[in-house]
Amino acid sequence: MNEAQRVLNIILKMMYYDEFKSSLTQDERDFIQRINLSSFKHFRLSSLHDRSTIFTWVSSMGESVACYANDNGFYFSEIVAYKTSTKRMKDREEEKLSPEKMEIVKGEIVDLKRTFRLYSENPNDMETYFK
Amino acid sequence: MNTVQKIVVLMMKINHSDILQNTLSEEEIRLGAKINAYNLHTGRNLKILNDVSGKTLLTWQSDAHYLIACPVDENGFTFSKIGVSTEGFVMDVQVYFNFDTDKLNIISVETEENKSLLKILSPDIEQYFN
């Protein structure tokens, strides 16, 4: 696995922690201990209808944020915000972020990069994975 | 990993076309063929996902036009506690974006009405998961 895949893999295992806790490697256990599990519920990988992958979290600015992710990395430069809704997909609203909200999201991306960088054996190559 | 964990991993990899595909092992490919995983994914929209509380669910679309979900843990799939949703075909992206409510709107199976539904749905379960 490359670094992006290792990060994706650990996110999936964290998403389904109760199912995988008995199969976690020591490296994975160490990683999970290093990051804040209490905030984990805000992170998740989801698949769209075409089975492409998005990484989402609930931003502190109050809306869900999503970016594409794949084996090459996380595309944080193409963030999209979604208003949470109990309605169906057709009613989902995609929103352009105001500059103020974008600043909040940018700060969160910095934190995310810093979090995942902890897991890299080679910090110099991590930017490759966060396009 | 036990068999349940292997199935969960396999279904997660099938759910996503652009991540971890080159990490599919021979064993996972064989397991996928054995349980007809790709056909279940495309035909039944079979998915592993977690709800807002972190509870893991196996979900699929039934011939009876309902969305079905059952709890999953590392010990197995708890088919005796399946839930049904009258929002049967709401299985879309929105489901994953709402972090505030239980998006799947799983209905308790304790009511008489839902017990009746389960009788209708049981052929699906027998066919695909026994």
Q: Categorize the per-residue pLDDT at A40 as very low, low, confident or very high, splitting at 50, 70 and 90.
A: low
Q: Between A90 and B110, whose confidence is greater?
A: B110
Measured in degrees and rounded to the nearest 5, phi and psi for residue A73 equal 145, -170
The residue in chain A having the minimum alpha-carbon distance to the alpha carbon of residue B72 is: A19
> pLDDT tens for residues A54-78?
888 878 887 778 888 998 888 888 7
Nearest to B19 among A22, A69, A84 (CB): A69
Calculate how close chain B gets to A124, using CA atoms only, in Å. 22
What number is the average pLDDT over the span A108-124?
A: 71
Cα–Cα distance for residue pair B122/B130, rounded to 1 Å? 11
CA angle, residues A53, A56, A61, in degrees to nearest 5: 155
> pLDDT tens for residues A20-29?
888 888 888 8
What number is the average pLDDT over the span A103-111?
A: 85
Mutate to test the interface with B, among A7, A15, A19 (most CBs of B within 10 A): A19
Quote the tokens at residue A12. Answer: 């999936």
Nearest to B15 among A17, A20, A47 (CB): A47
- The residue type at A76: F
Q: What is the pLDDT of residue B66?
A: 67
pLDDT greater than 60 at residue B124: no
Nearest to B19 among A58, A71, A88 (CB): A71
Interstrand relation of A80-82 and A94-95 (parallel, antiparallel or unpaired): antiparallel
The residue in chain A having the minimum alpha-carbon distance to the alpha carbon of residue B56 is: A16
Angle of helix B26-34 relative to helix B37-44, nearest 10 degrees?
60
Query: Are A10 and A28 within 8 A, CB to CB?
Result: yes
Determine contact: A25 vs chain B, CB below 8 A: no
Share of chain B above pLDDT 90, in %: 3
Q: Closest by alpha carbon to B37, among B27, B47, B23, B49?
A: B47
Q: Is residue B94 helix, strand or coil?
A: helix
Quote the tokens at residue B17. Answer: 């076309």
Q: CB B81: neighbour CB atoms within 10 A?
A: 11
Measured in degrees and rounded to the nearest 5, phi and psi for residue B89 equal -115, 35
pLDDT greater than 60 at residue A39: no
Q: Is residue B54 helix, strand or coil?
A: coil
Poorest-pLDDT segment among A52-61, A91-100, B20-29, B115-124: B115-124
Share of chain A above pLDDT 90, in %: 0
Q: What is the pLDDT of residue B19?
A: 92
> pLDDT tens for residues B62-114?
766 667 777 787 777 776 666 666 543 333 222 332 333 334 444 444 455 55
pLDDT greater than 60 at residue A107: yes
Q: What is the pLDDT of residue A112?
A: 81
Cα–Cα distance for residue pair B44/B59, rounded to 1 Å? 9
Quote the tokens at residue B64. Answer: 């009876």
Determine contact: A59 vs chain B, CB below 8 A: no
| Alpha helices for chain A (secondary structure H) | 3-15, 17-20, 26-34, 99-117
Q: Between A102 and B101, whose confidence is greater?
A: A102
Which ipTM was obtained for this model? 0.73
pLDDT greater than 50 at residue B37: yes
Q: Closest by alpha carbon to B91, among B62, B117, B113?
A: B62
Q: Is residue B68 helix, strand or coil?
A: strand
> pLDDT tens for residues B2-11?
777 888 888 8
Q: Categorize the per-residue pLDDT at A120 as very low, low, confident or very high, splitting at 50, 70 and 90.
A: low
| Alpha helices for B35-81 (secondary structure H) | 37-44
Extended strands (E) in A41-89: 44-47, 53-58, 64-70, 73-74, 80-82
pTM of the model: 0.72
- The residue type at A95: E
